[in-house]
Chain A
């Protein structure tokens, strides 16, 4: 009888642990259930497709950001990178055809990543430095986007492959594929494990023979490359490149990662976190839209949800830590 009680208690405790460990997901599901009762339009195939469509580009961006956050840095320039990439992609798509319009932006993304990563690697920077340096880069690239485009919208006149890659559910498939590939790279490869180690403790990683500078550079390159994918998908979806298109996208990507449970301290997190965070932000935005909450009020809610998600995560971790 005694053992029975114990098992019962431990099952209860395990259930509690599971719920509190995934508090934000359960809160989201609860909210979704309530909303689907109030507003039957929420749980329709059409609406779920809408949600996926809305999150795809941010999701792609968040994948690149996840790598950078895991090594304990941040990249504030991805939004501006997207603007620049979008302009390059559309110019090429209109003038040179599909192959150039898809390949060259990726190379441009790698180059931008090399610049960010190169500076970070050469000064051996961490979060603080990456914050300022990528902000400086954001300032430069946002201005560059305006200078290249003359501040004007650029319509996509291409009617072949480029005009199709952002249509329908294509960005969603790209996002899901990226999550799977990135998760594989992070958990199953030598590179991924070293990235994780380096994020947790760069000094120890250096002492154990990991070339931290090279890894920093490669991670920023990866982020630039993935950002270029997002930057190519966006103009193809909306059929125009806007020099201001990427403004605040970096904050959305960071918000998604953080809500999903990736720590800014580095060394923890996975692409499952990213996926969850992106979904939570997407579903929340959709629910607020359905409830006719204005965009302005949505910003207030978004801010509170970020704080809440992170606070719950920290409180839960502390609870587990205390128990040992």
Chain B
């Protein structure tokens, strides 16, 4: 009997995000007629799709123990490059340039973090500033526009009722899931994030892995930026200002731990959906934008707090002295 109780509480705890999401959906469906309709559901997915692509890459990098502030500037740069190059040189060169830019920024971040051994926060803070400055210099602070039918279709079209950008999001999700679960690279990422020292000792090239984390983020942000540029038909340094935080929030709410080494792609889907549904709900209920920010902040705080408390309780149970005679290992790992 108590075993069953434990199982139930375990299931509840492990799927708390999904349960919260379902609860949210049920409540909203009762409160507002317009909520649970096909068009609104497509709408929600469309809203999270572009950020979701970056969230997939951010999941990999958080599992690998790093994160990246610069994506919020990079996406603006990409929309600008995409719009400007497709205006002057055509769409394909524009896409090539954007992907190259993403890779280069990823390599720079990777070099600073993996090779120079800067903390990811400082390294990506500096690239974030420089990229923002670059975007503003390039456009003199003004948005640039370019209307083109093909690009418009690419950003706003759909296949069998599913928007193209949502298909890209699903593609990114499946790819992330596959890479993390079934490839050598994925296992290396978990090992690097779990304990870089041990990973190094068992022969994993930590420098390479850490660099790749940033390159993947750069490429994903480039793709997201191209889609955003195509969707909005313009490039602007302001686009994606809240990208880093929305994405990190989605990843963490989904249950990927900030301390690295744990997490999965589908957790991120749930996390992004919670954010998407919540904002959609607040919008349908006509809540003011400022209050939406308050709600977002409060939820972020609540989720991270519970996550931290659970993680600590778990690790304390694992290393409690009585169980297998192990000493509390905390003091050895820090420093």
A residues neighboring B (CB under 8 Å): 74, 119, 122-125, 127-129, 131-133, 135-140, 142-144, 146-147, 200-204, 207, 251, 254-255, 258, 263-265, 294-304, 306-307, 310-311, 314-315
Residues on the B chain within 8 Å of A200, using CB: 335
Q: Does B331 contact A (CB under 8 A)?
A: yes
Partner of A314, one of B118, B245, B290, B292: B118
Q: How far is the CA of A301 from the CA of B134 in the complex (A)?
A: 10
Query: Which B positions have Cβ atoms within 8 angstroms of A?
Result: 112, 116-119, 121-123, 125-134, 136-137, 140-141, 245, 248-249, 252, 258-259, 290-294, 296-301, 304-305, 308-309, 312, 328, 330-331, 334-335
For the complex with contacts A143-B290, A306-B125, A306-B126, 4 further pairs of A-B residues with Cβ separation under 8 Å are A203-B331, A264-B119, A296-B133, A296-B140
Whether A296 contacts B122 by the Cβ 8 Å rule is: no
A300 and B130 in contact (CB under 8 A), knowing A129-B258, A139-B300? yes
Q: Is the CB of A133 within 8 A of B301?
A: yes
Q: Are B112 and A144 in contact (CB under 8 A)?
A: no
**Interchain CA distance A200-B335 in the complex, whole Å:** 7
Cβ 8 A contact of B127, one of A146, A303, A310: A303
Q: Which residue of A lies closest to B132 (CB)?
A: A299
Question: Once the chains bind, are B136 and A299 in contact (CB under 8 Å)?
Answer: yes
- Whether B334 lies near A302 (C-beta < 8 A) is no
CB pair A129 B137 closer than 8 Å: no
Bound complex: CA A200 to CA B334 (Å): 9
A74 closest partner in B (C-beta): B121
For the complex, give the distance between the alpha carbons of A202 and B64 in Å: 23
Contact B301 A311 (CB under 8 A): no
Cβ-neighbour of B308 out of A129, A203, A258 (below 8 A) = A129
A124/B294 in contact, CB under 8 A: no
CA distance A311 to B126 in the complex (A): 11
10 A–B contacts, CB within 8 A, in A order: A127-B121, A129-B305, A132-B252, A133-B300, A298-B133, A299-B133, A301-B133, A303-B126, A303-B129, A306-B122
Tell me how far the C-beta of A47 lies from the nearest C-beta in chain B, rounded to whole angstroms: 24
List chain A residues, Cβ under 8 A from B121: 74, 127, 131, 264
User: A140-B297, A299-B129 are known contacts. Are A123 and B122 too (CB-CB below 8 A)?
Assistant: no
* Residues A303 and B130 in contact, CB atoms below 8 Å apart: yes
Q: Which of B132, B133, B328 has the most CB of A within 10 A?
A: B133
Closest to B260 in A: A128
Report the bound CA distance from A195 to B252 in whole Å. 29
Q: From B117, B252, B296, B331, give the contact of A207 (CB < 8 A).
A: B331
Using Cβ atoms and an 8 Å threshold, which residues of chain A touch B309? 123
The binding surface of chain B is classed by DSSP as: helix
The reply to whether B331 and A300 contact each other, CB–CB distance below 8 Å, is: no
Distance between Cα atoms of A273 and B297 in the complex (Å): 32
Select from chain B the residue with minimum beta-carbon distance to A129: B308
Instruction: Please measure, in the bound complex, the distance between the C-alpha atom of A264 and the C-alpha atom of B334, giving whole angstroms.
Output: 14
Q: How far is the CB of A323 from chain B (nearest CB, A)?
A: 18
Q: Which residue of A lies closest to B259 (CB)?
A: A128
The 5 closest A-B pairs by CB, nearest first: A299-B133, A303-B130, A139-B297, A303-B129, A300-B133
Q: Are B122 and A142 in contact (CB under 8 A)?
A: no
List of A residues within 8 angstroms of B304 by Cβ: 123, 125, 129, 132-133, 136
- What chain A residues lie within 8 Å of B292 (beta carbons)? 143
Q: How far is the CA of A270 from the CA of B331 in the complex (A)?
A: 24
The answer to whether A132 touches B125, judged by C-beta atoms less than 8 angstroms apart, is no
CA distance A307 to B132 in the complex (A): 15
B126 and A304: CB pair below 8 A? yes
Pick from B122, B133, B245, B297: contact of A137, CB under 8 Å: B297
Within the complex, which residue of B118, B137, B258, B299 is in contact with A307, where a contact is CB–CB below 8 Å?
B118
A264 contact set on B, CB distance < 8 A: 119, 121-122
Cα distance, A123 to B305, chains bound together (Å): 6
Known: A142-B293, A311-B112. A265 touches B132 (CB 8 A): no
Q: Is the CB–CB distance between B248 and A139 below 8 Å?
A: no
Who on chain A is nearest to B129 by CB? Answer: A303
Report chain B residues within 8 Å CB of A138.
297
Q: Does B305 contact A122, Cβ atoms closer than 8 Å?
A: yes
**Which chain B residues border A135 with CB–CB below 8 Å?**
245, 297, 300
Alpha-carbon distance between A127 and B141 when the two chains are bound, in angstroms? 34
Of B122, B245, B330, the most chain A CB neighbours within 10 A belong to: B122
Residues of B contacting A127 in the complex (Cβ-Cβ under 8 angstroms): 121
Compute how far the CA of A129 lies from the CA of B303 in the bound complex, rounded to whole angstroms: 10
Contacts of B134 in A (CB 8 A): 300
A314 to B330 CA separation, bound complex (whole angstroms): 26
B22 → A minimal CB distance (Å): 24
Give the chain B neighbours of A301 by CB distance below 8 A: 133
Query: B70 → chain A, closest Cβ, in Å?
Result: 9
A125 near B308: Cβ-Cβ < 8 Å = yes
Inter-subunit contact A133/B305 (CB<8 Å)? yes
User: What's the nearest-Cβ distance from chain B to residue A79, in Å?
Assistant: 14
Give Cα distance in the complex from A160 to B245, angstroms. Answer: 42
A136 and B297 form a contact (CB under 8 A): yes
Q: How far is the CB of B110 from chain A (nearest CB, A)?
A: 13
Q: How far is the CA of A88 from the CA of B138 in the complex (A)?
A: 39
- Chain B: minimal CB distance from A284 (Å): 13
Known: A147-B290, A296-B137. A139 touches B119 (CB 8 A): no
Q: Shortest Cβ distance from B228 into chain A, in angstroms? A: 21
CB pair A314 B116 closer than 8 Å: yes
